[in-house]
Structure 1
């Protein structure tokens, strides 16, 4: 089961070099060797102590609507001293940046995407102390249901269907989902559908087609839900 691929595909990830004042992902270290990563999902980097900033990049992963980005803490720390593969990846990015050879910019961008996947994977595997999507994905039972919702948002889901995906009784599933994710399964499904609908409308899809795609009974019902979530009618967003 892949807990990240659908999110990676629906929310385009961009990583590009930036000054330390504009970056939100820093590689820190000593004597040219990276020892940790610090990521600030909400915006620009904050003071990080006396360690040397070896690499600074700007990560854009549609933070305003990406549920995983919204679930991350204010700062994410990733220890490189115990992860040789990721440390080597950072060192390769440093070498490409310093060498300024042909195509170096593209290499740094692609390696930065891989670096973010590893960082996010580490956060999911480590779990979360607060409720949210990160905590849900960290739970092996809930994550099966959440991935099913992410992969098939247009299916007419019930709590019973999702409980079966998780391998739990319906009552236990609903209780655990609300405790870990912070909302009901149907509430999360509605938000996920509207997030995807926002993307589809912005690229020019018709309101009626989007409503059908995400299992709304009528375009009028979809319009009411969309207006409540975003404060505007879906037709006003179409093709923007």
Structure 2
């Protein structure tokens, strides 16, 4: 089960070298022992504390309403001895920066994305007590249902269908989902569909096609749901994309 690919595909990520003052990810350590820990601020630049960071990166996620970014805490700190795969990628990035060999920019772009995927994997594996998508993906039972919603947003899902994906009874599934994510499964599904619909409209897709794609019975019903979520009619976004 791949808990990240659908999210990564919908929200393009770019990772670039940055000055510490504008970086969102800072890695620290010393020359002898290598990198020891990192600090990641998903939304805003991280003010670098002493000692000086060994590696400074800026992570940009394209697209608004990214549920994964919204689920991350304002500050993420990881001891890299607990995440050796992540440290290995960061060490490679640091080597490329220091050696400055030809083609480094292309290599850094790929390594930066690899580092972020490994950071997200680590955060999912260690779990969190904060309700949200990260907590849901950390629970293998809930993750199966969440990934099914991510991969097949246009399916007409019922609570029984989603509970079956998780291998739980509908009542237990609903209870656990609300506890871990802070909302009901149907509410999360609705929000995910509308997030994708917004992206499609900005790309120029027709309102009627988008409504059908995400299992709305009528364009009017889709328009009402979209207006409640975003405060504007879906056709206004499509006109802006034209």
TM-score normalised over the length of structure 1 = 0.95
Deviation at 1:46, TM superposition (A): 2.7
Taking the TM superposition and a 5 Å limit, the aligned residue runs for 1:50-199 are: 50-62=50-62, 64-199=64-199
Distance 2:73 2:85 in 1: 24
Distance 1:168 1:160 in 2: 9
Alignment-derived partner of residue 206 in structure 2: 206
Deviation at 1:47, TM superposition (A): 3.9
Q: Is the 8 A contact 2:124 2:138 kept in 1?
A: yes
Distance 2:101 2:159 in 1: 54
TM-score normalised over the length of structure 2 = 0.94
Deviation at 1:99, TM superposition (A): 2.2
Deviation at 1:176, TM superposition (A): 0.8
Q: Is the 8 A contact 2:153 2:192 kept in 1?
A: yes
Q: Secondary structure at the match of 1:16?
A: strand
Q: Is the 8 A contact 1:136 1:181 kept in 2?
A: yes
Runs of 4+ in 1 over 6 A off after TM superposition: none
Structure 1 segments unaligned to the other structure (5+ residues): none
Distance 1:237 1:206 in 2: 10
Find out whether 1:39 has 2:40 as its counterpart: yes
Distance 2:93 2:53 in 1: 13
Alignment-derived partner of residue 4 in structure 2: 4
Distance 1:237 1:78 in 2: 39
User: How many residues get paired?
Assistant: 239
Deviation at 1:144, TM superposition (A): 0.7
Distance 1:181 1:88 in 2: 31
Deviation at 1:105, TM superposition (A): 1.2
Q: Deviations over 1:1-59 (max 9, x none)?
A: 110111111111111111111110111112362111211012111343x2330111110
Distance 1:108 1:81 in 2: 22
Q: Is the 8 A contact 2:12 2:63 kept in 1?
A: no
Deviation at 1:63, TM superposition (A): 6.7
Q: Secondary structure at the match of 2:74?
A: coil
Q: Is the 8 A contact 1:64 1:70 kept in 2?
A: no
Greater CA deviation, 81-90 or 9-18?
A: 81-90
Structure 2 segments unaligned to the other structure (5+ residues): none
Alignment-derived partner of residue 24 in structure 2: 24
Q: Secondary structure at the match of 1:52?
A: coil
Deviation at 1:189, TM superposition (A): 0.4
What is the aligned-residue RMSD (CA, Å)? Answer: 1.4
